[in-house]
Amino acid sequence: MENQSNLLADLNNKQLEAVTLPHQSALILAGAGSGKTRVLTARIAWLIQTGQVSPTGLLAVTFTNKAAKEMLTRITASLPINTRGMWVGTFHGLCNRLLRAHHREAGLPASFQILDIADQLSVIKRLMKLMNVDDEKFPPKQVQNFINGCKDEGMRANKVEAYDAHSQKMREIFEEYDKQCQRDGVADFAELLLRCYELLERDANIRQHYQSRFKYILVDEFQDTNRLQYLWLKLLAGPDNCMFAVGDDDQSIYGFRGARVGNMRDFEKDFQIQHIVKLEENYRSHSNILDAANAIISHNTNRLGKNLWTSAGAGEPVRLYDAYNDNDEAQFIVDEIKMLHCEGTSLGEIALLYRSNAQSRILEHALFSANLPYRVYGGLRFFERAEIKHALAYMRLIANANDDTALLRVINFPARGIGARSLEQLQETARAENCSIWQAAINKVGNGKLGAKGIEGFVALIRQMVDQAYGISLAEMTELATSLSGLMAHYENDKEGEDRIENLKELVTAAVSFTNQDFGNHNNVDGETEQDLLTQFLSHASLEAGEHQADVGKEALQLMTVHASKGLEFKVVFISGLEEGLCPHEQSMYETQGLEEERRLMYVAVTRARQRLYLSHAQSRMLHGKVRYGIASRFLDEIPEALLKRLNSKPVAKSGRDYNAMPAIMSAQQSVSQKNAMPWKIGQQVAHAKFGNGVVVSYEGNANDMRVQVNFGHQGLKWLAMEFAKLTPI
């Protein structure tokens, strides 16, 4: 009894209710920082300790191996049992275990191998070659995403609807791929789950065996399950089994991976859930931070509904900084970090969050210049990302074609049919003739031929780049390298290439900033050529890539995307780039439910902070090499004024506007006289009686007949005659 009371000690009333539920299926709605993992493990330990189930009669599903290990460690700490025989793991891990035990029934060899993502892609490429499928019309990465997407929905090739020649061909490749995997005795990740589901559905004996074995099924992060995972769980849960699902619909941020927030609603209905236990007491953050998060998320519809609270007190207000531009924003963040560090906050307790990877570049540069060590969590520093290194390698070849390292990096990327053997021969020739690989290639194919495959095509491409790079700016050269090389087109065909495209566009911004000497480019004196500037820029990129990433174990700031921050917490959090088009991301405007997922992302970001939260946005930002004038994110409007401490701006009357598209870009044709005659500055915030608040983005005409263009968010872009506009400054 004493052990039992120890197990339940320190649980609050709601946690205790969840842990000690009677034999029934239940949905535990666990808010951020409410002790979800603790409840889950305490529930397992309590069921075993009270003799309701044996350790082998439980199935616990998590999303990561790390979470599964943590769960087993916690169980071992509270109970003197051997956890080896327990079924605790990820969906893929548990399906693999089940298929190993029943490989014959599943139609797999005993020693079947698992294909990782890279292996799967190689199989698809090989198969397409055998089928004579044009890889330009059907990019292998796209085919891979199609196959995995179908499997995640629980569909084989014969179930896929095909309306035209393209989708018929995709279906045909999928069918052949399945046959190939069957012949080879291999299974990809998506196959593990689908094969396991089909086995349980088809074989009543096996299904009943597992249903009678696993009396209790416990699922962590239930909001992240996809359709097939939910169907698999439903099959395992027989009429007498209890499903204990823990999740938070407000933290469902993986829609792009197939996660269905609707599974929670379906679970409530399918399992006739009588009781939803809401864990709303937060042990992480002060109430000002929680109240801000609650206010933001309350604008989403169809929520299961909960309101986080804490007994920790109000704490500090949420700090809001309205930056003049992105450089000013980065500098403000650096100055605040220095001050916090001087006051005793460890750098490891500070996190900088952003919506997309490309936004890290300007922050990284500011930190690098200020000599503040940082670590990019769950990703690479900007200049170390593969796509950036590829683009820089092409630029290095423009500067010096004899650069063997750069050449070897991109000679067959994107793929142009240069095999390992021909590359070896080329390297042998270069060694024998004591020249660079580039020279050896020229000796072999002369000037090459544009559009040709293999070495011929590559030589002609580099020559074309060098010719076209003559006399153009560094930014134009960067654009040339990313487009002419085929890098942009390559990543456009990749379902998950959006981030990489953003990064390549951000490289153009880096080139513009460097040219404008924002980067401390002091060596660039008048009269230097673009070629000199190119060399300097490449040196700058190497220096920023090679230094300053803090060593493992060394105290460092944490930089990460909001997606990567899920599950983590920090004493101080900065969320930057809170403008319409960045957060919420402009892509979300074109997707159903896109905006709601963006709001959940913002909710996740805000709830990472324990004591202090900074929100910042910039009136203008350089994106993709052009200056954009932005409107503050709608999510800032959704936070009650009483919770905010504005560091440098006056409160703006809440307009109730519902913004959408990104503001326009300032027209390049504006003459000096126009600018002088213009009463409004580009980027200035203004109010209009009918359209609400907006930002000035452009103007045209002369003094007698002038029109101003204003972005009014939801109302869109409007041209207004200056004579009648009646705009007032904010």
Enzyme catalytic residues: 36-37, 220-221, 251, 608
Contacts of residue 16, defined as CB under 8 A and 6 or more positions apart, other chains included, come to 8
Distances (CA, A) of 238 to 52, 211, 215, 216, 243: 17, 5, 9, 10, 10
Report d(CA 259, CA 44) in Å as an integer. Answer: 25
Q: Which two tokens mark 586? A: 């402009």
Given a contact cutoff of 8 angstroms between Cβ atoms, the answer to whether 320 and 615 are in contact is yes
What DSSP state is assigned to residue 311?
S
Distances (CA, A) of 563 to 31, 300, 333: 17, 19, 21
Q: Is the peptide bond before 55 cis (omega within 30 degrees of 0)?
A: no
Given a contact cutoff of 8 angstroms between Cβ atoms, the answer to whether 361 and 387 are in contact is no
Report d(CA 189, CA 97) in Å as an integer. Answer: 13
Of 160, 159, 158, 157, the closest CA to residue 174 belongs to 157
SS3 (DSSP) at 151 = helix
Other beta carbons less than 10 A from residue 406's beta carbon: 23
SS3 (DSSP) at 637 = helix
Main-chain dihedrals φ then ψ at residue 551, nearest 5 degrees: -65, 155
Helix extents (H) in 575-621: 594-606
Determine the distance from the C-alpha atom of residue 275 to the mean position of all C-alpha atoms in its chain, rounded to a whole number.
34
Main-chain dihedrals φ then ψ at residue 716, nearest 5 degrees: 85, -170
Report d(CA 612, CA 292) in Å as an integer. Answer: 12
Q: Which two tokens mark 666? A: 């300032």
Report d(CA 585, CA 579) in Å as an integer. Answer: 9
Other beta carbons less than 10 A from residue 512's beta carbon: 19
- Find the distance separating the first CA and the last CA of the chain, reported in whole Å: 66
- In the chain, DSSP finds a helix count (H) and a strand count (E) of 30, 21
Residues paired with 612 in a beta bridge: 572
Report d(CA 160, CA 452) in Å as an integer. Answer: 36
Strand duo 318-325 + 644-646: pairing: parallel
Given a contact cutoff of 8 angstroms between Cβ atoms, the answer to whether 512 and 621 are in contact is no
Q: Which class for 89: exposed (0-12), middle (13-18), buried (19 or more C-beta within 10 A)?
A: buried
Q: Which two tokens mark 446? A: 């002369």
Of 398, 448, 379, 386, the closest CA to residue 418 belongs to 448
Q: Which two tokens mark 296? A: 């933001």
Contacts of residue 551, defined as CB under 8 A and 6 or more positions apart, other chains included, come to none
Residues paired with 113 in a beta bridge: 186
Residues paired with 115 in a beta bridge: 188
Residue type for position 457: G
Main-chain dihedrals φ then ψ at residue 112, nearest 5 degrees: -60, 145
